[in-house]
Structure formats: C-alpha cells, structure tokens
Amino acid sequence: MDLQTSNEIFHERYAVKKFNADKSLTQEQVQIIKNAIKMSPTSYGLQPFEVIEITDSKIKKELQPMSWNQNQIVDASHLYIFCAYNEFDKDYVADFVNKAADIYGFGKDEAEGRTDFMWGVFKDQTREQRAEWARKQAYLVLGFTLAAAAAAHIDTCPMEGFEPEKYSSYLNLKGQNLTPLAVLAAGVKSEDDKMNGAPKVRREEDEIIKTK
Ligand SMILES: Cc1cc2nc3c(=O)[nH]c(=O)nc-3n(C[C@H](O)[C@H](O)[C@H](O)COP(=O)(O)O)c2cc1C
C-alpha cells in the first residue's frame, strides 16, 4: 500500500453513526475482521481476551437499551464484543508456551524455563494488575482490528457507550472470566450517514508527537 493510499484510508475511515440495516458484511469481510482479531500482536503473544460475535437481531435488540440506545447496535450486521480475561494463571501461560514449543520444536526443559520466566512477570502482581494488563491487550486488538477493517474498506464504529455490568449479566460473561470493554459494530454504512466524509477533528501532529 503506498503512502497516498494509506492516508486516504485514514481519512475515509470514520466512526459510523448510521449503518444500513438492510445490508450485511460479506463472509469475506467477516473473515478479514476475524483474521485481524486473531493475528493482532499482544504482549508476549498471550492473547488474554475473547471476542464475542453477535449477528442475531433479537440479541442486538436486547442489547440496544444497554448501549445508550445507540442505533449502531441494531443496524450494524455484526457486533464484536471485545472482552478481557479477569484472571489467568500459570497453566494458561504454560499452555501458550507449549503451543510455541510444538511450533518451534523446542523441548520440555526450555518450555518450563520460558513459562517460569513469563509467569515470573505476573506472579507477584495482584489479580487487578493482571486484569488491567489483560484489558490493555484487548484494547490493542481492537485498534489493530479497526485499522485492518479500514484498510479493507469495511465500515465500523468502535463503541464504549454501553453498560458493562448489564452486558455481563445478559451474556453471562462473569461466569466465563470475561469483562466486556468495547463493542466493534461492523456493517455497511448508510448513504445518508451525516458523519460520512465529515472533516476530522484532531490535535496537531507536533502536539502529540514530541521529538527529543
Ligand atoms: C474506544 C472507543 C469508544 C467509542 N465509543 C463510541 C460510542 O459509544 N458511540 C459512538 O458513536 N462513537 C464512539 N466512538 C467513536 C469516536 O467518537 C470517534 O472515533 C472519534 O470521535 C473520532 O472520530 P472518527 O473516528 O470518526 O475519525 C468511540 C471510539 C473509540 C476509539
């Protein structure tokens, strides 16, 4: 992708306010989103998150009042609820290292050493510190997915405007060790979305990027 194309993509992408409820993502577009979620980098590669995909209109309708009544929740064909793990343990780290051992072909001793090293970073942290780290990773995946969707001209809206406690109860997330952080609504924008092509409001580059 050349520089001009990437700049155009950054301007073309915007947080869609009005999706066309009669149109849906194609299977190919859905797969681009899923691949981005899967392939996003995370610290140590531990991926301490899960994303819940919702396409069922009844569920979307029930989520809308828990989402500040925002229309994107019902009109976007696909919702991806980004959730972080509330807790993970040494076995979780070991499972990841063993997967890497299978792929790279290193042995049991090295796997144990790597697990001890990685778990050593987390073991003295509080449960909340680990949860906070997991939440950061999940947000990173959200950002990566937004950029990937933009590059593929897929219309999205990242959304924090919902009630996490209500989502948790409705989707039984606590029982699954998950905290919902943000929703990625994805679909096809409506032709008359007022924000389509609207000027961007951004701080200047030199206000946010400092050269030392
Ligand atoms: C984490 C996050 C949460 C957001 N939550 C909402 C939301 O609940 N509803 C909404 O309409 N837009 C939401 N937005 C969109 C932002 O308002 C938007 O990205 C920002 O104003 C910049 O505009 P642009 O993305 O159109 O360039 C959210 C954006 C992010 C990154």
Asked if the model's pLDDT at residue 22 lies above 90, the reply is yes
Query: Domain with 159 in it: what CATH number?
Result: 3.40.109.10
- Model confidence pLDDT, tens digit, residues 84-93: 999 999 999 9
Q: Give the mean pLDDT of the chain.
A: 97
58 lines ligand 1 (CB under 6 A): no
The answer, yes or no, to whether any atom of ligand 1 lies below 6 A from the CB of 185, is: no
Report the predicted TM-score, pTM, of the whole model to 2 decimal places.
0.97
Q: Give me the pLDDT at residue 72, please.
A: 98
Whether residue 161 is contained in a domain is answered as: yes
Task: Please report, for residues 7, 9, 51, 151, the alpha-carbon distance to residue 2 in angstroms, rounded to integers and kept in the order given.
Answer: 9, 11, 31, 12
| Pairing status of strand 155-159 against strand 49-54 | unpaired
- Res. 5 pLDDT band, cuts 50 70 90: confident
Q: Is residue 117 part of a domain?
A: no
Indicate if ligand 1 lies below 6 Å from the C-beta of 194: no
Is 157 touching ligand 1 by the criterion CB < 6 Å? yes
Q: Whose CA is nearest to atom 24 of ligand 1?
A: 14
Residue 155 resides in a domain: yes
Distance 117 CA to ligand 1 centre (A): 38
Indicate the top mutation candidate among 9, 67, 157 to test ligand 1's pocket, ranked by most ligand atoms within 8 A of CB. Answer: 157
Cα-to-centroid distance, 48 and ligand 1 (Å):
24
- Contact assessment for residue 131 and residue 84, using Cβ atoms and an 8 Å cutoff: yes
209 inside domain: no
**Mean pLDDT of the region 1-16:** 87
Catalogue the long-range contacts made by 146-150 (C-beta closer than 8 Å, 24 or more residues apart).
146/13, 146/184, 147/36, 148/32, 148/33, 148/35, 148/36, 149/13, 149/32, 149/33, 149/36, 149/184, 149/186, 150/9, 150/10, 150/12, 150/13
- Asked if the structure places residue 123 within a domain, the reply is no
Order of strands, edge to edge, in the sheet holding 178-187? 49-54, 78-85, 178-187, 155-159
Query: What's the 146 CA to ligand 1 centre distance in angstroms?
Result: 11
Residue 182 belongs to a domain: yes
What pLDDT is recorded for position 108? Answer: 97
Give the pLDDT of residue 6.
83
Domain membership flag for residue 188: yes
Of 135, 99, 102, 138, residue with least CA distance to 118? 99
Domain that holds residue 180: 18-87+128-195
pLDDT over threshold 80, residue 80: yes
Residue 82: CB atoms within 10 A of its CB come to 23
User: Tens digits of per-residue pLDDT, 154-207?
Assistant: 999 999 999 999 999 999 998 999 999 999 999 999 999 999 999 999 999 999
Dist CA 62 CA 4 (whole Å): 42
| Residue 82, in any domain of the structure | yes
- The domain tally of the chain equals 1
What is the dihedral sign for C-alpha 24, 13, 150, 34?
negative
Residue with the smallest CA separation from ligand 1 atom 7 is 159
Tokens 């194309």 belong to: 5
The predicted-structure confidence for 94-152, as pLDDT tens digits, reads as follows 999 999 999 999 999 999 999 999 999 999 999 999 999 999 999 999 999 999 999 99
Residue whose C-alpha is closest to residue 16's, from 134, 140, 159? 159
Q: Is 161 in the pocket of ligand 1 (CB under 6 A)?
A: yes
